[in-house]
Homo-oligomer: A and B are copies of this chain.
Amino acid sequence: MKILITGAGGMIGRKLVERLVADKNLGGKPITGLTLVDVVESPVPTGAPKDTKPIVTDFSEKGVAETLIAERPDVIFHLAAIVSGDAEANFEMGYKINFNGSWALLEAVRIEGQKSPYKPRFVFASTLAVFGPPFPDSIPDDFAPTPSTSYGTQKAMTELMLADYSRKGFVDGVGVRLPTICIRPGKPNKAASSFFSGILREPLAGQEAPLPVGDEVRHWFASPRAAVGFFLTAATIDTSPLGTQRSMTMPGVSATVGEQIAALKKAAGDKAVALIKRVDDPFVAKIVQGWAGRYDAKLAGKMGFKAEKNFDEIIKVYQEDEMNQ
């Protein structure tokens, strides 16, 4: 089986590739080749199948999608996107990459299928940013997406298109709305959500971390390992029960900042907690207010998607996967 991954050089993309190489197969079928697409060089893990190639390209540029799809991958993991802040600052580029780029991939699949039958599994990395306030206490599967960013709009539009292309039989699509990934390895970044990982990651490494919001702020989380699991599940489930609802909110852990800190205390003691420095940031606080804290991910649960059960597990995953504990 041949697999195409866009955004293969990103944090989740790299972990997904590592997992596929370690597993050697997907849904019981041996993996014969991986095409790893990103605007940066995607690392190729040791032991990758012979027919593995990193390609440095912008998938949204004219003709690139057709070239990638001409190899008829059996599974496409479409993770590439520009992030929320970039899409908000660069309106045209956001639509070009996040929407038109995704459409170009779907169109390339449809047109390839006109030559001879071809209907790959198309796993699309979507986002909970398809939803916008006002939120109910817990967001059900049938809650209408009214995004409050261009990024969320572009992802919601792609979800609709993925469902329509699937309904018409051109692809077999599954959209995966990722929770906030925590604990992200590496350094703090400029995302407003960066502190959710920072207040755990830095103290676990004996370093200080700023906390810009109050303890009561609630959010929806899953580990990087769970995210990789979501993509593997999406690639292998029987999609026939999905009907026209092809994109699903992923399960996760609903936790407040206070609950995050309590889990950190359990894992690393008061000394770690003392490294969290409260630095009010009304700008970040305001953005975070526009995010929901709880989802009722019934459909994804029924389809077999699994996240951690609590924040203790999320910290444990980080200690195992990133700190070799």
Max chain B C-beta neighbours (<10 A), residue from A132, A142, A143, A245? A142
**A126 in the interface, Cβ–Cβ < 8 Å?**
no
Given contacts A153-B164, A160-B157, contact A146 B91 (CB under 8 A): no
| B147 touching A160, Cβ below 8 Å | yes
- For window 107-160 of A, CB contacts with B under 8 Å fall at 132, 141-148, 150, 153, 156-157, 160
CA distance A73 to B132 in the complex (A): 31
- Stoichiometry, copies per complex: 2
Contact partners of A243 in chain B: CB under 8 A: 146
| B132 touching A244, Cβ below 8 Å | yes
Task: Specify which of B91, B143, B147 is in contact with A144 (CB 8 Å cutoff).
Answer: B143
| A143 touching B146, Cβ below 8 Å | no
**A167 in the interface, Cβ–Cβ < 8 Å?**
yes
**A26 in the interface, Cβ–Cβ < 8 Å?**
no
**A168 in the interface, Cβ–Cβ < 8 Å?**
yes
Given contacts A142-B143, A161-B153, contact A148 B91 (CB under 8 A): no
| A160 touching B153, Cβ below 8 Å | yes
Contact partners of A245 in chain B: CB under 8 A: 146
Given contacts A153-B163, A153-B164, contact A145 B144 (CB under 8 A): yes
Taking A132-B244, A146-B245, A148-B167 as given, write out 6 further A-B residue pairs in contact, using a Cβ cutoff of 8 Å, ordered by the A residue number: A143-B144, A145-B145, A147-B163, A153-B160, A153-B163, A157-B157
